Amino acid sequence: MKKKIEKEDIEELKSIWMDPSKIFKELKEQQDLAEELYNAQMKEEFERISNLCCPLCKSLDKYLHIDYSTSGIYGPGGSSKIHNEYYICNECGILFRDLKKKDIRRPTNLFNF
């Protein structure tokens, strides 16, 4: 099944071929938009975590404890895995988890502008 190529498609491809900066500008705008969204989400999550209080004594003084294991390789080829993550209250010593934790991932950089 062959697809017929329209004249508009050819003109668009010619414009991209002759001036590839259009595509790079669009990709840069998309990347900037994704970075702004990521920064806004991280700011919101940081404020939420800083206001997270101990469920027992309602103190905001807490410490994040992370249990993890590594492959023992540092640099390329190395890996680590988080097994357990919880907060420890510095006032009463209770251990508690953040049940509303969000998984926010940094957008990948397509270019180094």
Q: Please tell me whether residues 28 and 60 are part of one structural domain.
A: no
Q: Please tell me whether residues 46 and 69 are part of one structural domain.
A: no
Q: Please tell me whether residues 65 and 88 are part of one structural domain.
A: yes
The predicted-structure confidence for 74-96, as pLDDT tens digits, reads as follows: 888 888 898 999 999 999 999 99
Q: Does some domain include residue 28?
A: yes
pLDDT at 16 over 70: no
Of 90, 86, 88, the residue nearest 99 (C-alpha): 86
The total of structural domains in the chain comes to 2
Q: Does some domain include residue 110?
A: no
Q: Residue 72 belongs to what domain range?
A: 55-98
Of 92, 50, 83, the residue nearest 65 (C-alpha): 83
CA dist 9 and 88 (Å) reads 60
Q: Please tell me whether residues 25 and 61 are part of one structural domain.
A: no
Q: Does some domain include residue 108?
A: no
Q: Please tell me whether residues 69 and 33 are part of one structural domain.
A: no
> 106 φ, ψ to 5°?
-70, 135
Q: Does some domain include residue 109?
A: no
Task: State CA 64 to chain mean position distance.
Answer: 19
Q: Does some domain include residue 107?
A: no
The predicted-structure confidence for 29-78, as pLDDT tens digits, reads as follows: 888 899 999 999 999 999 999 999 999 999 999 999 999 998 888 888 88
Of 49, 61, 57, 59, the residue nearest 97 (C-alpha): 49
